[in-house]
Amino acid sequence: MTTDSNRVIIFDTTLRDGEQSPGASMNLAEKLEVARALERLGVDVIEAGFPIASPGDFEAVQAIAKQTTRARIAGLARSLTKDIDRAAEAVAPAGDRARIHVFLATSAIHRQYKLGKAKDQIIKQAAESVRYARTLCDDIEFSPEDASRTEPEFLAEVVQAVIEAGAKTVNIPDTVGYAYPSDFADLIGYLNQHVTNIKQAVISVHCHNDLGLAVSNSLSAVRAGARQIECTINGIGERAGNCALEEVVMAMRVRKDQFGDMQTGIQAEHLYATSRLVQSVTGLPLQRNKAIVGDNAFAHESGIHQHGVIKNPECYEIMTPQSVGVPATNMVLGKHSGRHALAQRLEELGFTMSEDDLQKVFDAFKDLADRKKDVYDGDLMALVEQEVRGRSLSIWSLDFLQTSSGSHAVATATVTLSKDGEAVTDAATGDGPVDAVINTIDRICGVAGTLEDYRLRSVTGGRDAQGEVSIRVRFANDNVVGGKGLSTDVVEASCKAYLDAVNRASYMNAKLDYRSPEGTQP
């Protein structure tokens, strides 16, 4: 893809591996919006999905391939003809920017228990799948799944064979997050020394975060010669997640003493907005102390720290908030602010939206401004999440909510929900008003959800601050779904969050889910 030895390619798999994070399912409109943000961010390759997994995945990959104009679009495929055909069809609209990403497990445990195949069979199938894929697409990437637990000698044989077959990129995945930075760097070095045709392909790495080492392993691999990093926004992904794009990119940028002239094409000023978008559409909460993009990343409470930052920000900040797109100022808007001022501030915060969506946000802004004196940047971002990001999942909508509770009273909730133009009202009791609301929604929607995680945070300061509730709910079919709700009333925010989770679960149930006996990711 590039001949510059100092250029590190950023391969984003938020829409594929990231979506496999429990509760992070996205619909087509949301995937297209994230893809637009990733292009604006400057990622080189967008892995848009696993086309054979479901008709919905195929449709999304194809739509993203049609929409994008700069980034390469990759579709994942097992080393099977039917998978490769489906992936080729999905990425075809991207033209010469299309990529097929083929994978096959290589470690001893996978060969014995998952595939039941010998080493020579693995090499043969890997090479043949790459060779076939090259007849359909010029840009082929191959991943030996669980490479970090594969015998180095055998791994070198596989890499040699797939490069000979036409793979232009060979990805070395740490599929289960087992690798240690120095060992992983040694593995990349071993391949560079023992694969005679290694210079004919870009060496990539795909690290999972089971031991919290995904970013460290990726950076160590780059120093050892890898020139593509596979990562996700906010580090989302299966189990403990993936290498976080924002962390690995800024580590390379800040620590020039370790990475010299190496650089990526990422426009870092868009990191914060992209992070917030992905947080919104997936419903996965972002911890406040998350590196680079967390709420506390540039916050200082200690008096000593505050004094130092006032004197010189570099005393306690190794990068500026502006360098990653964190708003430098918190412009306050109020009920007398106009549509133009709102549009300008939203644009400064990184939001691009249609006139219809802007009107929705403006109407909600006016309503909020009537209820609280000042509306801050955090409020605006939350309004966009509520009014724009969640619009396509409104299977059930909230019409009315009333609760009653007290220290010596049974908490009750009366809720009216609408679906397809029909309103349904019901009531229930519970252990507190939030539990009563959840029980009522369960009765109306015919679901049975178990709350596994509940988080409440203040979007801005002050007594009239909006509360944002982020939850994770397990439903009867074992779907674990995230939901978010926003209101100056905590109970109402909780109601909206739970209803959001119910709507997401309904959307997931409507999809034809497919799981392969050979796995779904490198």
Q: For 191-248, what is the HEC assignment?
A: HHHHCCCHHHCEEEEEEECCCCCHHHHHHHHHHCCCCEEEEEHHHCCCCCCECEHHHH
Task: Give 341 or 372, the one with higher predicted confidence.
Answer: 341
pLDDT band of residue 515 (cuts 50, 70, 90) is very low
For residue 12, the cross-strand partners are: 46, 231
Tell me the two tokens of residue 252.
């390379």
In angstroms, the CA 498 to CA 473 distance is 8
Separation of CA 416 from chain center: 33
Tell me the two tokens of residue 173.
């995945």
In angstroms, the CA 90 to CA 58 distance is 6
pLDDT of 522 strictly over 60? yes
| Cα–Cα separations (whole angstroms), residue 326 to 158, 219, 255, 320 | 44, 24, 20, 9
Tell me the two tokens of residue 430.
């519970």
Instruction: Give 144-210 as a 3 state SS string.
Output: EECHHHCCHHHHHHHHHHHHHHCCCEEEEEECCCCCCHHHHHHHHHHHHHHCCCHHHCEEEEEEECC
DSSP 106: -
The average pLDDT across 279-285 equals 82
Tell me the two tokens of residue 63.
């739509």
Least confident of 76-85, 132-141, 215-224, 284-293: 284-293
pLDDT band of residue 44 (cuts 50, 70, 90) is very high
In angstroms, the CA 482 to CA 497 distance is 8
In angstroms, the CA 399 to CA 418 distance is 7
Contact yes or no for 409/429 (Cβ under 8 A): no
In angstroms, the CA 210 to CA 298 distance is 26
Q: Where are the domains of the chain?
A: 9-282, 296-326, 328-389, 393-510
Separation of CA 7 from chain center: 24
pLDDT band of residue 372 (cuts 50, 70, 90) is confident
In angstroms, the CA 461 to CA 485 distance is 18
Check residue 309 and give its pLDDT: 45
pLDDT tens, position by position, 125-149: 999 999 999 999 999 999 999 999 9
pLDDT tens, position by position, 114-125: 999 999 999 999
pLDDT of 305 strictly over 80? no
Burial grade of 264 (CB within 10 A; 0-12, 13-18, 19 or more): buried
Closest of 114, 25, 32, 113 to residue 78, by C-alpha: 114
Query: pTM of the predicted model, to two decimals?
Result: 0.79
DSSP 92: G
pLDDT of 300 strictly over 60? no
pLDDT tens, position by position, 170-203: 999 999 999 999 999 999 999 999 999 999 999 9
Closest of 468, 476, 481, 470 to residue 507, by C-alpha: 481
| For the chain, percent of residues with pLDDT exceeding 70 | 89
pLDDT band of residue 301 (cuts 50, 70, 90) is very low
Q: What is the mean pLDDT of the chain?
A: 88
CATH 3.30.710.10 fits 393-510, yes or no: no
The dihedral sign for the CA sequence 231, 233, 238, 242: positive
Check residue 312 and give its pLDDT: 64
Please state which CATH number belongs to domain 9-282.
3.20.20.70
Matching CATH topology for 9-282 and 393-510? no
In angstroms, the CA 443 to CA 326 distance is 42
- The highest-confidence range among 126-140, 353-367, 395-409, by mean pLDDT, is 126-140
Check residue 365 and give its pLDDT: 87
Task: Give 407 or 435, the one with higher predicted confidence.
Answer: 435
Check residue 482 and give its pLDDT: 79
pLDDT tens, position by position, 70-81: 999 999 999 999
